[in-house]
Amino acid sequence: MTDLSPLDELAIAGVECFGHHGVFEFERREGQTFVVDLVLGLDTRPAAASDDLHDTVDYGSLVTSVKAAVESDPVDLIETLAHRIADLCLGQDRVEWARITVHKPDAPIDATFSDVALTITRDARSKK
């Protein structure tokens, strides 16, 4: 019998990183702040029952990996960066899906604005 209960959601908001992503040469040279929000779908019942970190996602370790992924290997688009982070999250054994938001608050736009953000959702069954 398949369990149809919805997955739990683990959210980590506002992970600040400094990266050199962007299509303009000055973005690559000078770098800028990126902020990442993660929402992960997983079943936390095993961890609740065992009270053991091995039965859930170690979000401290995951955040360290996400920061490293943002702070290395520059890309042109935040779409590429968001996909990289989603793949990293889906590599966690217990994560069934991941909703990733990449904020680029200092995007080079010639207007007053507060944020540029891209949100993607990926699931473990269709890691494409």
**What CATH number does residue 97 fall under?**
3.30.1130.10
What is the percent of the chain where pLDDT is above 90?
A: 91
Residue 18 lies in a domain: yes
Dump pLDDT digits (tens) for 90-106.
999 999 999 999 999 99
- Class of residue 12 by CB neighbours under 10 A (exposed 0-12, middle 13-18, buried 19+): middle
Which residue range(s) make up the domain with 54? 12-126
Residues with catalytic roles: 104
How many domains are contained in the chain?
A: 1
Residue 1 lies in a domain: no
Residue 37 lies in a domain: yes
Residue 77 lies in a domain: yes
Residue 54 lies in a domain: yes
pLDDT at 37: 98
- 83: β partners: none
Residue 43 lies in a domain: yes
Count other C-beta atoms under 10 Å from residue 10's C-beta.
Answer: 20
Dump pLDDT digits (tens) for 28-86.
999 999 999 999 999 999 999 999 999 999 999 999 999 999 999 999 999 999 999 99
Edge-to-edge strands of the sheet including 117-123? Answer: 8-19, 32-42, 97-103, 117-123
pLDDT at 4: 62
Q: Which of 23, 32, 128, 15 is nearest to 68 (CA)?
A: 15
Tokens matching residue 109? 């736009």
Per-residue pLDDT for 20 more than 70? Answer: yes
Residue 4 lies in a domain: no
Residue 6 lies in a domain: no
Rounded Cα gap, residues 98 and 100, in angstroms: 6
* Predicted confidence band of residue 3 (pLDDT cuts 50, 70, 90): low
